[in-house]
Structure 1
Amino acid sequence: MANETALPPTRPVTLEDDLAFLRGLHEQVLREAGGDTLLDLVQALVAACANPSTAESMASAQAIVGDLDAASTAAVTRAVTVHLHLTTLAEERQRARGLRAEDAESGEGIESGGVSPALSRLRGEAPELLDGLRIHPVLTAHPTEARRRAVTAALRRIATHLDLHDDPANGPAGRAFARRLLLEDISTLTRTASLRSTQPEPGDEVRTVMSIFDHTLFDIVPRLYRSVEAALPGADPGVSPPRVPAFLRFGSWVGGDRDGNPHVTAAVSRETVGLHAEQALTQLARAVDAVARAMTVDAAWSPPSDALREALANDAVAFPERFAQVEKSSPGEPHRQKMLIVAFRVEATRAQRAGAGYTDPDEMLADLALVQDSLVAAGDLRSAYGDLQHLIWLVETFGFHLAELEVRQHSAVHEAVLTELLAGLPDVTDPAAAAQDAHLLDRLARDGWPTGVHPTGERAEEVLDTIRVMAWLQERWGPRSCGRYIVSFSRNAADLAAVRALARLAVGTRPLRLTVVPLFETGADLENAPRILRDWAALPATIEHLESSGRVVEVMVGYSDSAKDVGPASATLTLGRAEEELVAWAREAGVQLTLFHGRGGSLGRGGGPLHRAIMAQPSGSVDGRFKVTEQGEVIFARYGDRTIGQRHLERLTSAVLLADEPERAAARDAAARRFADVAAVVDAQSRGCYRALVEQPGFADLLADVSPLDEIGELRLGSRPARRSGANSGRGLDALRAIPWVFSWAQTRVTLPGWYGIGSGLAAVDDLDALRAAYREWPLFASLIDVAEMSIAKSDREIGRAYLELGGRHDLTEQILTEFDLSKRLVLAVLDQEELLEHKPHLERAIGVRLPYVDALNHLQLRALRVLRLPTDPTSGQTRPDRQEWRRVLLLTVNGAAAGLQNTG
């Protein structure tokens, strides 16, 4: 007999449903705020941009915006930007909805990133690989997240109200209530200033990034370990000893990265780790308390072990007042009593109450293991291996420090400081040359400095104070809290020896576990990396460190500056070649190498699908260990939602496990050898083409003239200046950072850093069959082509031309557009496609729903740029009185386009 009370079936909510619903609410808000005039203007502009850009559609859009004053342009810009924020929200909801609906046995393929198929393929090797697995995301404060926290908070509220509105258990009244809340928050969003009024300080950036730990990571980390455990053959999670170690570690550059950021000081780094510890201990206290309050097992059914009884007796003496309260509130529940004591001690650690807190996480883990072992001995396996195991995983992953703070500084700063310090040595006649003498610096690191050497400048004092703070932090919060020191632009062994020499002067022989990490960024440095490492590894101080650390070495490779230096195709191939040589060096030197990938969010800085990038790494370069930066808007895109965050980490895990699977590695190596000649031609020709452009006189001026490059700093995206060396102009590419370089090109829709030179490189091969075979068989080459395809898909030739023409350099405009046409044509030919993204429907849809709105913002931005790049009104000849208003309009369009394009930096 049918169930007469069952609800009627409802079809799944689609992205289009969410977009239509949110668009309707937004239109109602716009009508209420400004009548129909603003809404009609927005709709007319978006309609003009609905089709691919042509001369006719460009003219139509420009006619709409051409007569707008600054206030009207700003209003339209804000309305379009809010729509793009809501579009991103709808996409995230649809993605999370789809992930939740997936069945674990739905037949997902290995390439989809599922943990289960990955472990099935590895079969008997899985347990051994899991034992050595280490995945290490490092969060950075690179200024690419254009949204204010107030905007993010409003969007989170809207997402919550959408869940309420879509809840099938909600009746008409409940849905009406949710709709009212949605209108209220969308109205608030439209009236919230999208531009920051003050420059963020490093502490603000620290708190922003830490919100991710609070909002998602503490929840999803144990879920990730459980999902991996459940995928193991014969697994029975929750009733047997865990077969998955805590393989995740998190790092952070926020508050530690001082390369080009004078606002990050030793005091900031000390405060940052204090905030990390406060957050970690607060979260652990909540987690322990939750486990303790649920562990109501009676001693009659789960008798305590002798070790637990002894521990409780000691606790009664050590913490008599607290123990008396615990014993009174939980009589006959010894396991709960111990957990409540653990909660008390974690809180005491957070409050820094001497004599009550834990000295380190290992002491806390020993208490948790004591409880777990006692429960196992009592036969209470579910209590032992359930939420208690989740808690153990949290402590093992986050410790008391949350994320290791990593220090980064430019090699040139160390060189300048050493030149100052070495000038005080009587036997040094040329301090500048001595600062680049690796053997001299190594002797100073081992034997110490002569007495009487003191810094005379603020920069030298700050460098030494930073190292002193690292030693203090390790003493207070343990070696994992802050021990890595990354040297940007490592050019030789002296750049690496410098850190230990400076450390010896700063802290003498005090304990300091210091891991020096070279960062190779330019094309030349990547090519020289193996030689630099050989020279460094031969130094006695390095040899001592390797022997004491288990011969573990970490090397960072940079995607951003290498691409800015030699172009995207050559950078990809140079990085692949450098990684192969680094693996060979590590084998020769007998060290365990971890490669640290400095990838950005944009396609011009190593962005794109991360799991595919891992699978494309040269054999042996992963080997179960993967460390990567997570930057700017990418952090919130990957970790802002629990479901999406867990799925991202699962895909990352499966890719790292499978990267060096023998069959896959053999095929990848064979393809790399087979297509080495193809790669050499693409590399040389694309690099030559790229350098021929960027070395042209006036090229840097062109970018500044046709884009918001010089205005980006006013967006106050982060605490770090947009240019190195305190440069006040964007006219020198060497001083310009990779982020504003990529950000500016993305705004113009030329997106040059993601594709320029690729067409010339492919054309030089002159063998389409070979190129197609390389795409099918060689993952590194496929990754190169796929990133180029995505980058070109986000470009717009006609809009790009309109920007380029602002610079008055017809020669450079034609050079860029000619290479664009060649790159698009040959990328499509290699892919054997008629249209871009033909075989990537999800990406095509994501870009497609945004493009009319992004195009609209481009036309609004072009209007602002034309006003600002002309100092006088062409009609009156007078200086425009509204230039400051238009400057603000330009910033609003930059902010909106960043929201629409997503991976801008």
Structure 2
Amino acid sequence: LTRLRKITGAITILTSLMKPSPSGFRLVRAVETFGFHLATLDLRQNSAVHERVVAELLKVAGVEADYLSLGESQRVSLLRHELSNARPLASPFAAYSDETQSELAILRAAAKAHATYGPACIAQHIVSMAQSVSDLLELNILLKEVGLYRPGGASGEPSSAAIMAVPLFETIGDLEAAPAIMTEWFALPEVRGITAARSFQEVMIGYSDSNKDGGYLTSTWSLSKASTALKSVFADAGVGMQLFHGRGGAVGRGGGSSFAAIRAQPPGTVQGRIRITEQGEVIAGKYGTRDSAMTNLEAMASATLLASLEPDALSAADTARFSAAMDTLSASAFAAYRDLVYGNNGDDRGFRTFFRQMTPLAEISGLKIGSRPASRTKSDRIEDLRAIPWVFSWAQARVMLPGWYGVGHALSAFEDKGLLAEMAQGWPFFAASLANMEQVIAKSDMGIAARYAGLVEDRALADAIFPRIESGWQQAHDGLLQVTGQSRLLEAHPALDASIRLRLPYIEPLNLLQIELIKRRRAGDEDPRIGEGILLSINAIATALRNSG
């Protein structure tokens, strides 16, 4: 009852801040609660870029001629030594590459913003593809160059960093390594002083790349296990933990109900702090009107409070049983997914050709709506393709593969179906995972997908791969109904079922039109109306499907 009163009181306060007030106290109350600023900015860069920039700075400064050849322990030792020295590495009289000049210019602009607007304007710098402690130290080296990192003094005052280095663990392997990396990070004396001043450390976990790497079920389970393991690491270090969930709009990128997702977080990992990204069409859908924004913010606030204050939903014995079952399911789903997408021998050339010809990936690039190119490199490998076009392309072809493939194999192979039903009923994590997958399967259509498969030039290749996708979809569909005890998809969610069914008759003609236009364009028809029609169809299908990218 006490917990309920606290939750109700907090929600009432948050709601009152959003409602119109005839007096002028609403603004005063909001400023006192949230601070006098509109929004803060995050910086973000790939760890490989930091690595190259630091290597060049060290080389030009005469400190280390070949930093990139050093092992991890050597890098950490060198970087820590440099961080203890207030002397900058960069010289205004030296020549640097465009990349190095660009990165230093960005950080100098951040330092200027701090001086002009205060430290709250930019508080975090996300290091994407973080795979080691040196990745975080390299960022602090660059922050030191612009005065945003200050070494500790001789009299014993601790080091300080005006911007927090936030590691982003993205792939399955990175998520597994995250606890060890953070343990080593917190063991550094200079880091202890920085985290003590803030009282917390943020860690970002990526849904998109982990899904592309290991499939839907393995991604969600790896994220949950990493969160649980990080909780213990932070507790041992005496540091508050703030997880930043890099979710996208589509289920294959962590999408779905924010309320259910927060409630499904492992016990003890929220602790009153959580960050969640809202991207793309989700922003308009959730926050396009005042009423929808209030509803979604209230849902997220209440879910955070419940996840922080409620007792554990499972006993220790049930947690152990369910976790062991998930390990088995994840391993089975991972094997099936990797075998299809990357091949047992690591050669994905056949599948990547099939994917690029079956889906409108090349045509999507013509929309020019992304801030970055579709691939990280000039390679056409699946590993180098960014997660957004990967998920978006499958959605356009009505396959939605990133949101379900491999799960059917896992459910079918698992012998104790009663245990699965028990998990679906009593474990918020498993229930939310199945609910998200159910929505994706309901929006997919293998009949339409088969027509897209007709775009593949090599019929033998299409006949070898598409039946595997069809079979996997059927297994996921049947396994889901069996575990949830439903006779049809979305039987327990009639409102969502009606919404999807209402839109499907309008989407199907758009898909057929898109297929015909793509055929003509790929056959060499350069009529500009065809190109425009393809782009219009892509936009229309995405709008109708909603959370598809």
What TM-score results when the alignment is normalised by the length of structure 2? 0.91
**3-state SS of the aligned residue for 1:507?**
coil
1:705 touches 1:869 (CA, 8 Å); kept in 2? no
CA distance in 1, matches of 2:535, 2:186: 48
2:246 touches 2:276 (CA, 8 Å); kept in 1? yes
| Deviates most, 860-869 or 447-456 | 447-456
Equivalent position of 1:51 in the other structure: none
Equivalent position of 2:476 in the other structure: 823
How far does the alpha carbon of each residue in 1:785-835 deviate from its partner, in whole angstroms, 9 at most, with x for none?
111111100000111111123223211111111111111110111111121
How far does the alpha carbon of each residue in 1:610-632 deviate from its partner, in whole angstroms, 9 at most, with x for none?
10111110001111112100101
User: Which of 611, 619, 622 is 2:267 aligned to?
Assistant: 619
2:3 touches 2:310 (CA, 8 Å); kept in 1? no
Task: Output aligned runs, 1:804-815, within 5 Å.
Answer: 804-807=453-456, 808=459, 809-815=462-468
Equivalent position of 2:140 in the other structure: 500
The 1:529/1:888 distance shift into structure 2, 3 A limit, reads same
Equivalent position of 2:437 in the other structure: 788
1:866 counterpart = 2:519: yes
1:684 counterpart = 2:331: yes
Equivalent position of 1:599 in the other structure: 247
- Greater RCO, 1 or 2 (C-alpha within 8 Å, sep 6+): 1
| Per-residue deviation, 1:449 | 4.2
| Per-residue deviation, 1:781 | 0.9
The 1:503/1:417 distance shift into structure 2, 3 A limit, reads same
Equivalent position of 1:415 in the other structure: 51
The 1:412/1:224 distance shift into structure 2, 3 A limit, reads farther
Residue identity matched to 2:44: R
| Per-residue deviation, 1:536 | 1.4
**3-state SS of the aligned residue for 1:625?**
coil
The 1:483/1:762 distance shift into structure 2, 3 A limit, reads same
1:671 touches 1:774 (CA, 8 Å); kept in 2? no
Equivalent position of 2:360 in the other structure: 708
How far does the alpha carbon of each residue in 1:473-530 deviate from its partner, in whole angstroms, 9 at most, with x for none?
1111111111210000100000011111111123376796111111111000000000
| Per-residue deviation, 1:679 | 0.4
The 1:477/1:399 distance shift into structure 2, 3 A limit, reads farther
CA distance in 1, matches of 2:224, 2:331: 15
1:610 counterpart = 2:258: yes
**3-state SS of the aligned residue for 1:623?**
coil
| Per-residue deviation, 1:904 | 1.3
CA distance in 2, matches of 1:627, 1:750: 30
Equivalent position of 2:369 in the other structure: 717
Equivalent position of 2:297 in the other structure: 649
| Per-residue deviation, 1:445 | 2.0
1:557 touches 1:598 (CA, 8 Å); kept in 2? yes
| Per-residue deviation, 1:891 | 1.1
| Per-residue deviation, 1:672 | 2.7
User: Which of 423, 427, 439 is 1:778 aligned to?
Assistant: 427
The 1:591/1:819 distance shift into structure 2, 3 A limit, reads same
Equivalent position of 1:584 in the other structure: 232
1:391 counterpart = 2:27: yes
CA distance in 1, matches of 2:116, 2:325: 54
| Per-residue deviation, 1:557 | 0.6
**3-state SS of the aligned residue for 1:504?**
helix
Task: Output aligned runs, 1:374-773, within 5 Å.
Answer: 387-396=23-32, 399-434=35-70, 436=72, 437-449=75-87, 453=91, 454=94, 456-507=96-147, 513-550=162-199, 552-663=200-311, 665-667=312-314, 671-696=318-343, 697-725=349-377, 727=378, 731-773=380-422
**3-state SS of the aligned residue for 2:369?**
coil
Task: Output aligned runs, 1:140-151, within 5 Å.
Answer: none
CA distance in 2, matches of 1:390, 1:609: 30
Q: Percent identity?
A: 38
Equivalent position of 1:170 in the other structure: none
1:601 touches 1:632 (CA, 8 Å); kept in 2? yes
Task: Output aligned runs, 1:344-363, within 5 Å.
Answer: none
2:168 touches 2:203 (CA, 8 Å); kept in 1? yes
How far does the alpha carbon of each residue in 1:149-192 deviate from its partner, in whole angstroms, 9 at most, with x for none?
xxxxxxxxxxxxxxxxxxxxxxxxxxxxxxxxxxxxxxxxxxxx
2:148 touches 2:161 (CA, 8 Å); kept in 1? no
| Per-residue deviation, 1:643 | 0.9
1:707 touches 1:745 (CA, 8 Å); kept in 2? yes
CA distance in 2, matches of 1:221, 1:740: 40
**3-state SS of the aligned residue for 1:721?**
coil
1:122 counterpart = 2:7: no
| Per-residue deviation, 1:609 | 0.7
**3-state SS of the aligned residue for 2:243?**
strand
The 1:508/1:644 distance shift into structure 2, 3 A limit, reads closer
Equivalent position of 2:153 in the other structure: none
| Per-residue deviation, 1:434 | 4.4
CA distance in 2, matches of 1:903, 1:455: 46
CA distance in 1, matches of 2:43, 2:148: 19
Equivalent position of 1:99 in the other structure: none
CA distance in 2, matches of 1:509, 1:757: 46
CA distance in 2, matches of 1:508, 1:651: 36
2:143 touches 2:149 (CA, 8 Å); kept in 1? no
The 1:435/1:680 distance shift into structure 2, 3 A limit, reads closer
Equivalent position of 1:848 in the other structure: 501
**3-state SS of the aligned residue for 1:401?**
coil
**3-state SS of the aligned residue for 2:454?**
helix
CA distance in 1, matches of 2:84, 2:255: 41
CA distance in 2, matches of 1:450, 1:845: 62
| Per-residue deviation, 1:885 | 2.9
How far does the alpha carbon of each residue in 1:105-136 deviate from its partner, in whole angstroms, 9 at most, with x for none?
xxxxxxxxxxxxxxx67245559x95xx9xxx
Structure 1: state its 5+ residue gaps: 1-119, 134-219, 228-286, 292-385, 872-879
1:521 touches 1:561 (CA, 8 Å); kept in 2? yes
| Per-residue deviation, 1:860 | 0.6
The 1:901/1:121 distance shift into structure 2, 3 A limit, reads farther
CA distance in 1, matches of 2:89, 2:324: 57
1:601 touches 1:630 (CA, 8 Å); kept in 2? yes
CA distance in 2, matches of 1:460, 1:788: 43
Structure 2: state its 5+ residue gaps: 151-159, 344-348
Equivalent position of 1:892 in the other structure: 536
2:132 touches 2:181 (CA, 8 Å); kept in 1? yes
CA distance in 1, matches of 2:44, 2:389: 20
**3-state SS of the aligned residue for 1:667?**
coil
RMSD of Structure 2 on Structure 1 (CA)? 2.4
1:473 touches 1:481 (CA, 8 Å); kept in 2? yes
| Per-residue deviation, 1:425 | 4.4
The 1:123/1:818 distance shift into structure 2, 3 A limit, reads closer
Paired positions, count = 527
1:668 touches 1:778 (CA, 8 Å); kept in 2? no
CA distance in 2, matches of 1:451, 1:512: 17
1:418 touches 1:435 (CA, 8 Å); kept in 2? no
CA distance in 2, matches of 1:839, 1:802: 31
| Per-residue deviation, 1:416 | 1.1
**3-state SS of the aligned residue for 1:798?**
helix
